Amino acid sequence: MTIPVAPDSPLPRRFTAGDLPLMLESGILREDERIELLDGELVERAAKGFAHDVVKNALMRRLVPALPDTIYLGIESTLQLRPTLLLEPDLLLAPVSARSASPEGFCTIPGSEILLVIEVAASSPAYDRGRKAALYARHGVREYWVIDAQERTASVHREPASGGYRDVAELPRDAILRPRADGLAALSVALAALD
């Protein structure tokens, strides 16, 4: 008789979007907790500070007037890309027709239909440029901006592939960002003006 050998370390318990309402209901999580579900792992997000809020609000003031009614602007919306992946991008732009509710009750949009995701990074630029960029690329999100709230610089990620984005440009404070998507042709964001 062969006795199975236990792994050297315990296997992690992976969660799904369906587990979160149960955790809220039982009191394991609170409604106001800032978490994301990354490949089944619950990740706590840092609290948003003054610089983050200034940049995010300045972005909204510039984007909203230029957006046609056919474009959905998600502001800190929970986005479900698969059962084990819930992200909370600061801003997300996609055709209104592409969004729907997942069985778990979260917003779901096929990654290839998302026109632009913007993350404002105050305390986590490496995380947003690294792990989160890889997740967005893996799901086919066409364009992903990470704006450094302190420096007012940006990393613009384009051309998603399975291992990340093929085109990543680091832009200085005096740059003007313009999304590539046809539906967003009227948008431009001057980084230095995000005050």
pLDDT for the residue numbered 13 = 73
Cβ distance 136 to 119 under 8 Å? no
Asked whether residue 20 is domain-assigned, the answer is no
Task: Write the burial class of residue 68 (CB in 10 Å: 0-12 exposed, 13-18 middle, 19+ buried).
Answer: exposed
Higher pLDDT: 90 or 45? It is 90
pLDDT for the residue numbered 84 = 87
pLDDT for the residue numbered 7 = 61
Q: Rounded mean pLDDT of 127-156?
A: 95
Asked whether residue 127 is domain-assigned, the answer is yes
pLDDT for the residue numbered 183 = 86
Confidence of residue 16 (pLDDT cuts 50, 70, 90): confident
Confidence of residue 15 (pLDDT cuts 50, 70, 90): confident
Task: Write the burial class of residue 12 (CB in 10 Å: 0-12 exposed, 13-18 middle, 19+ buried).
Answer: exposed
Residues 82-116: tens digit of each pLDDT: 998 899 999 999 999 999 999 989 999 999 999 99
Q: Is the pLDDT score of 152 beyond 60? A: yes
Q: Is the pLDDT score of 189 beyond 90? A: yes
pLDDT for the residue numbered 144 = 98
**Structural domain harbouring 69:** 46-193
pLDDT for the residue numbered 37 = 73
Confidence of residue 137 (pLDDT cuts 50, 70, 90): very high
Strand order in the sheet with 85-87: 41-44, 35-38, 85-87, 79-82, 107-108, 100-101
Q: In the chain, what percentage of residues exceed pLDDT 70?
A: 93
pLDDT for the residue numbered 177 = 97
Cβ distance 106 to 137 under 8 Å? no
Asked whether residue 106 is domain-assigned, the answer is yes
User: Considering its fold, how many domains does the chain have in total?
Assistant: 1
Asked whether residue 162 is domain-assigned, the answer is yes
Asked whether residue 7 is domain-assigned, the answer is no
Asked whether residue 14 is domain-assigned, the answer is no
Confidence of residue 188 (pLDDT cuts 50, 70, 90): very high
CATH assignment of the domain containing 164: 3.90.1570.10
Asked whether residue 5 is domain-assigned, the answer is no
pTM of the model: 0.83
Asked whether residue 95 is domain-assigned, the answer is yes
pLDDT for the residue numbered 2 = 61
pLDDT for the residue numbered 100 = 96
Query: For the chain, what is the mean pLDDT?
Result: 89
